Structure 1
Amino acid sequence: MKLCFMMLTDLSKRFNFMNSTFQMANGYFEKHEKDLHQLSDQIWDNPELAFKEKFAHDLITDFFIEAGIGTVTKNYILDTAFKVEYVTGKERSDSTISESDLPCVAFFSEYDALPGIGHACGHNLIAVVGIASFLKLCSSLKATGTPARVILLGSPAEEGGGGKIKMMNNEALSGVDFSLMGHPSALNCCTSTITQAMEEKRATFHGKNAHGTTPWMGNNALDAAVLAYNNINTLRHWMHPSMRAHGIFTDGGKAPNIIPDRAELLYYFRAPDKKQLKPLLERAEQCFKAGADATGCTVEICEKSEAYDSVIQNPVLGRIYEKHMENMGYQFPPKDEKTFRGSTDMGDVSRAVPAIHPWFLIPCGGAPGHSVPFAKAAKLPQSFKNAMDSAECLAKTALEVLQSKQLFDEMKRSFKETCG
């Protein structure tokens, strides 16, 4: 338990902290709201793929440096990752308590795009939700003198690269008590939304060249890949409806009259969690090998990037966030509506510390993420407004937990029950 909660309990009694604190905290966010809207549009206008997000990285970190807010670390662990840290209320807490003993919350910003369709997952909005949540919470904590440590982590390569996992493996979450981020969607959803575990597999088939007129003199690697592809399609009869397998040919030869000595498949496999994903991966590997064996080829199977686990929404954080969103007029689907969605490296974060990854509505006409209509909606003014509403509720959620030992303990207890 963080030692300074003795003081936080007293502070929570002295402040009707939720509405009054946010009224008092007309500071960092209010001063920079227009800057954040412009920043979101600039990231949208300049889409960058995983681990190549130099423009977005520099844009965000330079914003904080110029504004003089927090301690900024560029190129944090990864070349296009960053960290901004802000400490509040230290002068009111026991001077013997180190900053590492202060309760700590981390927000995440994402800013990588998708090949060919830009910000069709709305990461320009995710970037500014993280920033706005950070600014709003820091202002509120400063207004009340609440001792806490607030961190904003810029995590690259969510789209398949596992930036958060790589950062976690290098202790980016050291000392963090809980974490929050928000994601645009066609609907409002938090604790009832289920993401999936995912692993990306690359299967490279090796055969033997021959002229197209004498195919018996070669071993056709493309045939091996086609058979493997069909094997996985047949595997769908065995797959549970919660599982997914989607793949593409990334190499199928160079010319029609040359028997290909190399072909390649790239697949995403998904299941409700890593435990249930394992048998699917084992069966898929048999499918790849069977295609190679049938054509006299060989196959190399490798994990292309970090495997993702599914998100476990912390029920305490989710309950508080939904309450504040509902107070702003947003409606959530029924709790028994279990919508299966994509995968995110926030899943692994949610299994390391209590976390939520709620969705907030943007006017995309029901279009799914990773589509052109969704990308267009991610730049609409209404989408930015909804993103800022989500950021305010994320900040209010963090503030409630930081100012209540009871909620803090309940959050930790529920995390232990769900994640062990």
Structure 2
Amino acid sequence: MTRQIKLGAFLPGGGQHIAAWRHPGSPADGATSFEFHKQLAQTAERGLFDAYFLADNLSVGLGGREGGNAKIAGFEPVTLFAALAPLTTHLGFIATASTTYEEPYTLARKFASLDLLSNGRAGWNVVTSAGDDTARNFNRDKQPAHADRYARAHEHVEAVKALWDSWEDDAFIRDKQTGRFYDTDKVHDIAYKGAHFSVKGPLNVPRPVQGHPVVVQAGQSEDGRRLAAVSAEVIFTAHQNLASAQEFYRDIKARVNTAGRNPDHVLIMPGVAPFVGRAEEEARAKYQQLNDLILPEDGVAFLNGLAGGTLDLRGYPLDGPLPLSDETEGMKSRQALIRQIADEHGFTIRQLYQWVATARGHYTVVGSADQVADELEEWFGNEAADGFNILPPWLPGALDDFVDLVIPELQRRGLFRTAYEGQTLRENLGLPRPVNPWTAARASLQAAE
């Protein structure tokens, strides 16, 4: 088959831009309105998106305490997606969950349940959860060191995958005549032992429809790249230009190959925030309208949050440069990206928060449907992306614009599907279903005999 773009829809109900909730076309309570999320999911499915993607925070955070950002409070993603799954038929649901503050067993059963409820449309976005504010909500005074969080994440993902495999696909017999409910030879303790986790198993949920829910990962630091190479199937990444995206793409594909995995089975999907108009002038007017709604105190609080809470910009002149700061134990890749943006453009604090307000360091595209499609096609065709996570700056308008204007142009170019290929998220993404290792071992033994 001809290679085509994969698309995720990143749809926090409060909008992606920090002032989105103030937009006259957006509901002010969108973050906690189920009917609004239902509308967004059905629009994304109408646009043939692969998945509805939601980030998640485990604290309000410094930026939320100081500003008016609607993203400070919203639904827990797995709960929301369990409610949305019966209202859709093909759209995948990728929920964020933390390896730092959740146990493998409870996380594995949540996502296995979501996969069963959705008939195979679940995905897990693996995050390590930065920030001391979050740590203080989970019986800690400070966040674990960056390297420690990633060491824990490696073990966590291994244990979760083993739990998903603890029941073989055909373990449940459910024979009412004989009273035999399951085959005891096809359920297994995983007996996982590591530096961070000890998990006996088996899981008390059957093997997921997809074998494993699709594993997504978003870190792009050195530790993040190492984790992605051995465990991720989709990588959500942030880049400001083609060259940076190409470096990341080529590096990850090489690491995946070195890890003994098929690079074609790891999809790299940079985030893109599109402002789309029927002409470029209309798109630029939409961009300016949103930026004009940013309150300065919200912009400063937003940058404070992205900087990990240690660079306090309050009191610095808005039209002066971003002050120097030390790297923290927070989101190292995002801290570096924000500094790169400020330095490359010579931005003042005000200009910096206006630039990153749309998508928190992801690539912002402003233009007509043709111009937006040109940008996506260039990245897709030049070893920078296998697809994109689309971050509509405000909702529902920017999502509607993309579905109604950009999707038809991508389809006209043969770059995007005109119908879903399958029923499960894996089928639509073109990813193989993992083989159960217990089943494979039995088959190998039988073949040897």
TM-score by length of 2: 0.26
TM-score by length of 1: 0.27
Structure ID, larger Rg: 1
* Structure in which a larger fraction of residues adopt strand: 1
